[in-house]
Amino acid sequence: GHPDFRRLLELPTPQSSSGGIDFEQVVAGGVALPSGSGHQRVALSARRYSAQVQYLLRPAAKDHAFGRVEVVNAEPDPLLQGPAALFVDGAFFGTTQVRTTPANGKLVLDLGAQTALKCARRSKTTVRTEGLISKDDVHAVHVTIEVESFLDVPASVEVQDQYPVSTDEKVKVKLLLPKAGDAELDERNGILTFRRTIAPRGRLELHITYEIEVPKDYQIHQLLTETTS
């Protein structure tokens, strides 16, 4: 029998690898394989996909970006799940796992850390007291985020930060910056997403301002929400 028969039995079947769905793909032309018990790699087709490289920054967690590439499968056939080798500017970058992507579907591949895109975050809080009889403390928080690119090409960046969301009726939160349209807001968890293009060797500055109104001497605590891309 085949020398790798037992190992091959342990590998996932094509059906399970592709998400448990059967696909049919027509291969143009015939393929000639030499006889013998050695491994053979067969090229079924070669395709090019348009791709867009993006960079995600979360300054509250890391001081650098993480790269990812979005690929749209414009072919009539699905792109099946399996290992993939990544090449950036013609140079081998690493390996990743491709998930099954239907025709016209979008695939996101992680490229890992990109230390040529740096970010820094600083915040300033001031407190004032309002009210004559029922006094409230108003915590005004201003966050400044700086992004600097050491790349020689423009970069599409997505910067995420968070402002507090209150579940306590005694705590009122008011977002002052950014204005509507300057960033995307997830009101459930307070995640703010800025999408910008930064010039080669350029810098970018973003601002977030919000106020927290609480009864005087009231203790407040903020929990950060972990997000996934």
Give residue-wise pLDDT tens across range 131-171: 766 788 999 999 999 999 999 999 999 999 999 999 889 89
Give residue-wise pLDDT tens across range 163-191: 999 988 989 999 999 998 999 999 999 99
Question: At 229, is the pLDDT very low, low, confident or very high (cuts 50, 70, 90)?
Answer: very low
Q: Cα separations (Å) of 88 from 93, 95, 111?
A: 6, 12, 9
Residue 85 forms part of a structural domain: no
Residue 147 forms part of a structural domain: yes
What DSSP string describes 80-122? --EEEEEEETTEEEEEEEEPPB-TT-EEEEEEEEEEEEEEEEE
Residue 182 forms part of a structural domain: yes
Cis, bond preceding 178 (omega within 30 deg of 0)? yes
Residue 59 forms part of a structural domain: no
Give residue-wise pLDDT tens across range 3-27: 666 776 777 666 666 665 666 667 7
CA 188 to chain centre: 19
Question: Which helix (H) or strand (E) is 147 found in, with range?
Answer: strand 136-149
pTM for the model stands at: 0.74
Q: What pLDDT does residue 103 have?
A: 86
Q: What pLDDT does residue 144 have?
A: 98
Q: What pLDDT does residue 90 have?
A: 75
Residue 207 forms part of a structural domain: yes
Give residue-wise pLDDT tens across range 29-59: 777 777 777 777 777 777 777 778 899 999 9
Instruction: State the residue range of the domain holding 184.
Output: 116-215
CATH number of 161's domain? 2.60.40
**Number of domains within the chain:** 1
Question: Which helix (H) or strand (E) is 5 found in, with range?
Answer: helix 5-10
Residue 132 forms part of a structural domain: yes
pLDDT at 228 over 50: no
Give residue-wise pLDDT tens across range 72-118: 888 888 888 877 887 777 777 777 888 888 888 998 888 889 999 99
Residue 76 forms part of a structural domain: no
Residue 130 forms part of a structural domain: yes
Q: What pLDDT does residue 179 have?
A: 94
Q: What pLDDT does residue 4 have?
A: 67
